[in-house]
Amino acid sequence: MRRKIVAGNWKLNTTLQEGVKLALSLNELVGKGVPENVQVIVAPPFTHLTEVRKVIGNKTGLAAQNCSAQKSGAFTGEVSAEMIKSAGAGYVIVGHSERRNYFNESDLDLSSKVINAIESGLQPIFCCGEKLHEREKSIYTEVIKKQVHLGLFDLDAEHFKKVIIAYEPVWAIGTGKNATPEQAQEIHQYIRHLIEEQYNSDMADNTTILYGGSCKPSNAREIFSKDDVDGGLIGGASLSADDFYSIINSF
């Protein structure tokens, strides 16, 4: 059975103290139980990783929000996948649209980040998704195909097994406007089809594909009920332990 995941992306929010408090509140709720086969993950800022690791139980996964395309050396301000792993994380978000769009991260950079992450023992949560004008022009499948091909499909099958994909339509992120469950299902099924073409049907069946974009307690249940939707990457709503826990319990 495919693993379900609910991952919270805290983005550029919370001081260290606020982050630890949020993690403690979440940990208390998660301690009451989560649905079977659901992996909970939190992605705080880099500075919080080690402290958050100490307060979330070992059942909750820890992710960084980005990693360097470089392994080490004279790259001031960068944080490598290996450093993230050594801070106690097991996952890293790669290719979030905010990184692609505000920091001009290219498909080539993202491919290097994915490889570095896997070689360092992290599971990448690879984000893809179209912008509003691309959806309006009905070229969204081409956009996603290109992102997935260039970012992921250089991986051999053993490496690809570590990948988690998040479909995040850019027009739905932080806008309050979520994709409909049918729109999410269409793209998740399409991504699975791309994986089958590139690898095989087992790989397509076993890859966890998350939906992200204004997912909240009021819409998560309907979105997660779709066959090819295996959970969510949650931004704004993950900053409230209660809302995030309610989303976790939407399966």
Positions marked active-site? 96, 168
* Residue (60 or 82) nearer to ligand PEP, CB: 60
Binding of residue 236 to ligand PEP (CB under 6 A): yes
Q: Which of 215, 220, 247, 248 binds ligand PEP (CB under 6 A)?
A: 215
The closest of 39, 49, 40 to 19, measured between CA atoms, is 49
CB of 133 to ligand PEP, least distance (A): 18
Distance between CA 168 and CA 144 in Å, rounded? 10
Question: Contact at 8 Å (CB) between 75 and 87?
Answer: no
Helix (H, G, I), strand (E, B) or coil at 179: coil
Binding of residue 66 to ligand PEP (CB under 6 A): no
Q: Which of 114, 173, 204, 247 binds ligand PEP (CB under 6 A)?
A: 173
Tokens of residue 235, six digits = 């931004």
Binding of residue 174 to ligand PEP (CB under 6 A): yes
CB of 13 to ligand PEP, least distance (A): 10
CB of 198 to ligand PEP, least distance (A): 24
Q: Show Cβ contacts of residue 28 under 8 Å, excluding neighbours closer than 6 positions.
A: 241
Helix (H) or strand (E) holding 193: helix 181-198
Q: Residue numbers of the site for ligand PEP (CB under 6 A)?
A: 9, 11, 168, 173-174, 212-215, 233-237
